[in-house]
Each structure stands twice: as C-alpha cells, then as structure tokens.
Amino acid sequence: MWNEPFGTRLRARLDKYGPLCVGIDPSPELLGAWGLDDSPAGLERFARTVVAAVGDVAAVVKPQSAFFERWGSRGIAVLERVIADLREAGTMVLLDVKRGDTGSAMAAYAEAYLDQGSPLAVDAVTLSPHLGFGSLEVAITKAVANDAGVFVPAGVFVPAGGSTRARDPEADRLRAANAGEVLAGAEAANAGHAPLGPVGVVIGTTPPPPDLPPDLSPNLPLDRLGGAILAPGLGAQGASPADLARLFAGVRQAVVPSVSGAVLADPDRVRDLTLRYRDECADHLSP
C-alpha cells in the first residue's frame, strides 16, 4: 500500500514517465470498433487490454466508472480487476466517478474509493462540487489520511481551433459559476503540502458554447493552486500539446493532460499512440 502522500507520488510519476493520463472509456461504440461484444466480457477484454498496453508507460490511468457501472455487479467486478491490474503494474489510478453529496453519504463514497482497505481503493477520484466545495471536506480528509487525492472540476479553457464536440453547456455554466470557490478551496486544502497537494482541479480544454461568459481564462490564479491540473480534451476533442503549453504557460509542470478516444480507437495502436502523446506533452510542458 502507499506510504507517501499523493502529491509526492504523483510528482514522481510525472517526472519519470512524462505528463499524461490515459482514460479507459469502454463505451459501446469503442467496444464495437474493437470487434467486441457490448457485454461484461467485452468490457473486461477492452479494459484489461488497455491496461496491458499503457500500464507501464503512462503516469496515470483513468477508468471512467460509468461504463463499468452500467453492467451492475458484473461491471463493478471488472472494474475491481482493472484497478488490481493497474496497481500491480505500479500505475497511479484516477477513478472518474464525479461523486458529490453531503454528510454520511459523502463519507461512504470516500470510504469506497479512498480507504486503502477497500476493493475499489484508488490513488485519486474525481468529485463534483455542485453542492459547494465545503461538501467535499469529508472526502478530502479521508484522502489525506490515506495518502490519496481528489480532482474537482473548475472550468474550461478554449484552445485555438478547437472543436465544439462533446461539450455540455449546462455543465460548463455550473463550472464557470463554481470555479472561484473551487480554486480557493483547493488552494486552502493544499497549503503546507509539497510538491503537490491532495486536491487537484479539472480544467477542460475544449471550447464552451459561444454564449458562456468568458469567466475562465489563462488569467486564473493557478500559480497559487498548489495541486495538479487535470486537463481533458487532448486529441479527439480538439486540444493539442501546444495548446496546453500556451494555456497553462505559468504552471506547465503541474498539468496532467488526459487523452482517451485519440489513443483507444485502434486496438493495435494504443501503446504507440500513448507514447506519441506522452512524448509530445513532455516536449511542450517541460518547465
């Protein structure tokens, strides 16, 4: 089990393997593209093949829990095995669950994913701040106690020439409204932790709808965050490593670009494409 704080382990992984998080998103469409059945067996073949391809070359791997949960207990059993495979490979696991609740319910979520004795224990999870950043306190406390971390959505950046695919206008509006609170809360939670704190933020890099007020820009005070910045949108959704370097110019060393569809579409090229994106991101995001 872990014996170093989350931020220390994450910094070491990024320095050793380069700045990249690979998502495992076994959607029905991707299973079909791989010639697999949309079934728990197809789900397991897909996910564990991805783990075998990237587990020893990516700093972080991010399973999307929803695609496992859709199969009930059979899907959760596959997720447990995937997490075990990743941990055996020494890979950091960020489980994309976006849980958000209060009181005992949030405590139960934290126990499920952040308690080192849980079969679903991972290095970090995504949380939703829709009930206010304060509602996440019990999960953050559990994370710190277990040398784990959390990532909280905090906004959207717009890369030049990016695509408008896969945007959720209502989600973008909520993130815009909550961004200030999330960044302030994360900064406070990370105080005293080095090299990175337990609370990271998620800042998307695909364009928001044109009517969204431009509240989020490269002028956000990210240099005071003290935590990692998960940056989804790389590849198929329109962002390039060069976009990330420009948008996060002052905090490049804290950025963890996330890619999924762009490396998962062809089962024979998952590893090669992962290495290509990893190396390009390292070139552009080096301090």
Helix axes 270-285, 40-54, angle to 10 degrees: 50
User: For the chain, how big is the Rg over CA atoms in Å?
Assistant: 17
CB-side exposure of 18: number of CA atoms within 13 Å?
20
- Measured over the CA atoms of residue 72, residue 75, residue 79 and residue 80, the dihedral's sign is positive
Q: How many CB atoms lie within 10 A of CB 123?
A: 26
CA–CA dist 49, 267 (Å, integer): 8
Largest Cα–Cα distance of the chain, in whole Å? 49
Helix (H, G, I), strand (E, B) or coil at 193: coil
Q: How many CB atoms lie within 10 A of CB 251?
A: 19
Scored b (16 or more CB within 10 A) or e, 38-63 reads bebebbbbbbbbbbebbbebbbbbbb
Which member of 16, 62, 98, 142 is catalytic? 98
Cα 141 off chain centre by: 19
Residue 69 corresponds to which tokens in the numbers above?
């949960």
CA–CA dist 224, 59 (Å, integer): 23
Q: Which residue has the tokens 């198929």?
A: 236
CA–CA dist 140, 198 (Å, integer): 8
98 is catalytic: yes
- Residue 22 near residue 232 (C-beta atoms within 8 A): no
- What single DSSP character describes residue 222? G
Q: What residues are labeled active site?
A: 98
